[in-house]
């Protein structure tokens, strides 16, 4: 049972393996096999375990208080894995009786069945040792990190009802073919409502039963790791749904949620916000993060809705929120929690990285807590995505006046360690697909997507693309509709896939594009101000490699496009988004056969000039050839 030391740590928020202490666990006590149950319910005057073994009658298996601070526990001999159970509690003051599922439940029979299920102690035979050994030496800051974001249910909707193992094989093959380094799963934790996309979590410690058991999800991670693909999970520590059998008023009164009714609910989603002021709630969340990293070998967590965690006035009118004790709008307990989370994860799981979805100008999101930061490894660059897509939606005539949308990002590029994310948020049914957001006719739209990918893969920052982007899905993503995989066999859409595949491979093979993405010296503007022609040019470099990238966002080809370069010599073309293999119009020459010489003639601030033919709505990439 829980020791006095365990209980002290839990109430201080430092029982980091709480998932092994609370919940339901098969064990032996005094020679008897059974199940040990424990839950935290400080407002309960009585608590019982109910389940299929006692006809859900709370009179049969009453729990005992383990301490005065509200932990209850009970050992029931004779129970086995597969037992379904809940906790019944009576509020000490009101006498209200509630029946709740276990917050630490590790499995559910199915998404709509709210009974927790006792599982066997983990005995999975992992075979990803080579991946784990390589991961221990891997430096995400200096290595390519290129993420394929996936909603498993809609990604597999056209495949019937696959299990985790089958999904792993198909997803791994697809990711490897396109040269992605990681897959990121929209929340995989148990959630009854498919329309929530997994963001209304009801089983924080349980992989969704839609695709199999917890061990089958371990198989999923194991297969991807063996194939050289990392696994990132979307994680949701902001809020939880109001399902009466869940965390809401867990022991008959507010517990996991904020105690102030005026501040408990998030106005946009009608969900309840976690109370980060309670040490036990912070413990629940921090232990949960560690659980997925340790028990499922996950490589990283993308933390959802960080902006909403940080601000007390998030989505609220001026009169609908209360200031913190210092008079500000910052949620101080949430800030403390995020710093503690990141610091502890980096200390005990240094291989893992955390990524913040944070859309405001909060400073030092990806800086160490010791230096006043929140401690995340990286932050989604939502400003880059917003500005770039806004620009791509503009007519040709509007683009020169809005050229700043392409260049403003350099003003803040090195304030954080960024991920350039073309995520599910950017291509939802409300915002429309990348194809729908490109201006022009079908040819222009597909050329625009190829150009957008080239800009993303050559601009500083790690990379992320949502499923369907790779073949230019025609319509915005809707969870109720499968991806239109038939498009991937159409020549024009195959051209988009081929372009992304080659760009991903080039990104992975080019230290200039990935080894110094967070260093300002790796980027140099060559032509930032050519608004009239809607072009930009820049240089990416690392050690001896120097790449020249020129991008034309207009429908006009430029037969003699000139840009200055810092060094003379020969420059070999590595990529042309308008090449025939991508269904472009750039003639028959293959990139490997194209080379140009830099002429020793000054151009603007540079001693040399490079002159090329720059196709319409296209990107070209050249590498300086060492002699």
pLDDT over threshold 70, residue 174: yes
Percent share of the chain, pLDDT over 70: 98
Residue with tokens 């995400």, as numbered in its chain: 140
What residues contact 379, with CB distance under 8 A and at least 6 apart? 355, 356, 358, 365, 366, 416, 417, 418, 419
| pLDDT tier for residue 191 given thresholds of 50, 70 and 90 | very high
Helix axes 4-12, 279-295, angle to 10 degrees: 110
Tokens of 590: 């293959």
pLDDT over threshold 90, residue 168: yes
What residues contact 449, with CB distance under 8 A and at least 6 apart? 434, 435, 438, 469, 472, 496
Tokens of 466: 């949502």
- Residues annotated as catalytic (active site), given as ranges: 304, 357
- For the chain, give percent helix, strand, coil, nearest 5: 30, 25, 45
pLDDT over threshold 80, residue 627: no
Name residue 257's beta-bridge partners.
274
Helix axes 214-226, 129-137, angle to 10 degrees: 60
The 10s digit of each residue's pLDDT in 409-466 is 999 999 999 999 999 999 998 889 999 999 999 999 999 999 999 999 999 999 999 9
Counting every residue written for the chain, the total comes to 627
Distance CA 6, CA 1 (A): 10
Whether domain 4-117 has CATH 3.30.300.30: the reply is no
The 10s digit of each residue's pLDDT in 36-88 is 999 999 999 999 999 999 999 999 999 999 999 999 999 999 999 999 999 99
pLDDT over threshold 60, residue 587: no
> Tell me, what's the pLDDT at 1?
84
Contact 491, 433 (CB under 8 A): no
pLDDT over threshold 70, residue 591: no
> Tell me, what's the pLDDT at 431?
84
> Tell me, what's the pLDDT at 159?
77
Distance CA 223, CA 218 (A): 9
> Tell me, what's the pLDDT at 585?
66
Work out the angle at residue 472's Cα, subtended by the Cα atoms of residues 467 and 475, and round it to the nearest 5 degrees: 85
DSSP string, 455-511: HHHHSSSEEEEETTGGGT-SS-B-TTS---GGGGGSHHHHHHHHHHHHHHHHHHH-H
User: Average pLDDT, stretch 470-488?
Assistant: 94
pLDDT over threshold 70, residue 593: no
Fold for domain 520-625? Immunoglobulin-like (2.60.40)
> Tell me, what's the pLDDT at 562?
97
> Tell me, what's the pLDDT at 319?
85
Distance CA 374, CA 360 (A): 14
Tokens of 81: 């894995």
User: Average pLDDT, stretch 156-185?
Assistant: 94
Distance CA 537, CA 620 (A): 10
Distance CA 189, CA 296 (A): 12
User: Average pLDDT, stretch 210-237?
Assistant: 98
The 10s digit of each residue's pLDDT in 339-349 is 999 999 999 99
> Tell me, what's the pLDDT at 586?
56
> Tell me, what's the pLDDT at 560?
96
Name residue 273's beta-bridge partners.
239
The 10s digit of each residue's pLDDT in 101-154 is 999 999 999 999 999 999 999 889 999 999 999 999 999 999 999 999 999 999
Domain locations in the chain as residue ranges: 4-117, 144-247+275-514, 520-625
End-to-end CA distance of the chain: 71
DSSP state of 606: B
The mean pLDDT of the chain is: 96
> Tell me, what's the pLDDT at 430?
84
> Tell me, what's the pLDDT at 541?
98
Strand ranges, E, within 260-399: 272-273, 300-303, 353-356, 378-380
CA 106 from centroid of its chain's CA atoms? 22
Distances (CA, A) of 281 to 12, 239, 324: 10, 12, 19
Q: How many CA atoms lie within 13 A of 134 on its CB side?
A: 11
Please tell me the CATH code under which domain 144-247+275-514 is placed: 3.20.20.80
Domains 4-117 and 520-625 share a fold: yes
pTM of the model: 0.97
- Judging by beta carbons within 10 Å of its beta carbon (0-12, 13-18, 19+), is residue 218 exposed, middle or buried? buried
Residue with tokens 């420059």, as numbered in its chain: 571
Three-state SS annotation for 403-458: CHHHHHHHHCCCCCCEEEEECCCCCECCCCCHHHHCCCCHHHHHHHHHHHHHHHHH
> Tell me, what's the pLDDT at 175?
98
H/E element, 310 = helix 306-310
The 10s digit of each residue's pLDDT in 269-314 is 999 999 999 999 999 999 999 999 999 999 999 999 999 999 999 9
Tokens of 556: 């006009």
The 10s digit of each residue's pLDDT in 134-145 is 999 999 999 999
User: Average pLDDT, stretch 309-329?
Assistant: 94
């Amino acid at each position: 049972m829980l020791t006095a030391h365990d209980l002290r740590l839990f109430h201080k928020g430092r029982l980091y393996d709480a998932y092994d202490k609370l919940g339901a666990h098969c064990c032996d006590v005094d020679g008897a096999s059974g199940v040990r149950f424990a839950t935290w319910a400080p407002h309960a005057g009585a608590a019982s375990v109910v389940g299929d073994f006692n006809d859900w009658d709370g009179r049969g298996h009453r729990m005992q208080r383990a301490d005065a601070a509200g932990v209850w526990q009970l050992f029931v001999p004779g129970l086995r894995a597969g037992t379904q159970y809940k906790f019944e509690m009576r509020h000490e003051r009101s006498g209200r009786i509630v029946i709740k599922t276990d917050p630490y439940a590790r499995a559910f029979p199915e998404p709509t069945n709210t009974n927790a299920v006792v599982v066997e102690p983990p005995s999975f035979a992992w075979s990803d040792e080579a991946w784990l050994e390589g991961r221990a030496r891997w430096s995400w800051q200096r290595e390519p990190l290129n993420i394929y974001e996936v909603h498993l249910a809609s990604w597999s909707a056209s495949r019937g009802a696959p299990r985790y193992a089958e999904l792993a094989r198909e997803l791994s093959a697809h990711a490897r073919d396109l040269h992605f380094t990681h897959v990121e799963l929209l929340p995989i934790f148990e959630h009854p409502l498919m329309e929530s996309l997994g963001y209304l979590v009801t089983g924080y410690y349980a992989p969704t039963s839609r695709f199999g058991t917890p061990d089958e999800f371990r198989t999923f991670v194991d297969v991807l790791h063996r194939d050289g693909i990392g696994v990132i999970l979307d994680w949701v520590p902001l809020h939880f749904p109001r399902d009466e059998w869940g965390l809401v008023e867990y022991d008959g009164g507010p517990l996991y949620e904020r105690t102030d009714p005026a501040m408990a609910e998030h106005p946009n989603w009608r969900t309840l916000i976690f109370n980060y002021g309670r040490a036990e709630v912070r413990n629940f969340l921090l232990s949960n993060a560690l659980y997925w990293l340790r028990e499922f070998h996950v490589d990283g967590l993308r933390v959802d809705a960080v902006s909403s965690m940080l601000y007390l006035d998030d989505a609220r009118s001026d009169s609908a929120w209360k200031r913190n004790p210092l008079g500000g709008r910052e949620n101080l307990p949430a800030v403390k929690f995020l710093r503690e989370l990141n610091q502890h994860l980096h200390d005990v799981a240094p291989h893992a990285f955390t990524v913040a979805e944070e859309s405001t100008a909060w400073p030092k999101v990806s800086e160490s807590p010791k230096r006043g930061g929140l401690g995340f490894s990286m932050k989604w660059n939502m400003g880059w995505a917003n500005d770039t897509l806004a620009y791509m939606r503009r007519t040709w005539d509007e683009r020169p006046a809005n050229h700043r949308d392409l260049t403003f990002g350099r003003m803040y590029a090195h304030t954080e360690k960024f991920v350039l994310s073309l995520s599910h948020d950017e291509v939802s049914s409300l915002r429309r697909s990348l194809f729908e957001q490109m201006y022009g006719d079908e040819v222009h739209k597909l050329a625009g997507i190829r150009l957008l990918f080239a800009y993303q893969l050559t601009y500083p920052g790690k990379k992320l693309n949502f499923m369907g982007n790779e073949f230019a899905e025609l319509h915005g993503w809707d969870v109720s509709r499968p991806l239109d995989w038939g498009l991937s066999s159409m020549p024009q859409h195959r051209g988009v896939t081929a372009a992304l595949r080659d760009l991903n491979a080039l990104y992975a093979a080019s230290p200039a594009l990935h080894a110094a993405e967070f260093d300002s010296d790796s980027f140099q503007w060559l032509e930032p101000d050519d608004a009239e022609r809607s072009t930009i040019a820049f240089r990416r470099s690392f050690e001896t490699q120097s790449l020249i990238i020129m991008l034309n966002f207009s429908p006009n080809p430029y037969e003699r496009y000139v840009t200055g370069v810092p060094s003379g010599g020969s420059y070999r073309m590595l990529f042309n988004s308008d090449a025939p293999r991508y269904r472009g119009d750039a003639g028959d020459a293959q990139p490997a056969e194209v080379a140009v010489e830099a002429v020793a003639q000054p151009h603007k601030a540079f001693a040399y000039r490079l002159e090329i033919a720059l196709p319409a709505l296209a990107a070209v990439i050249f590498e300086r050839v060492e002699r």
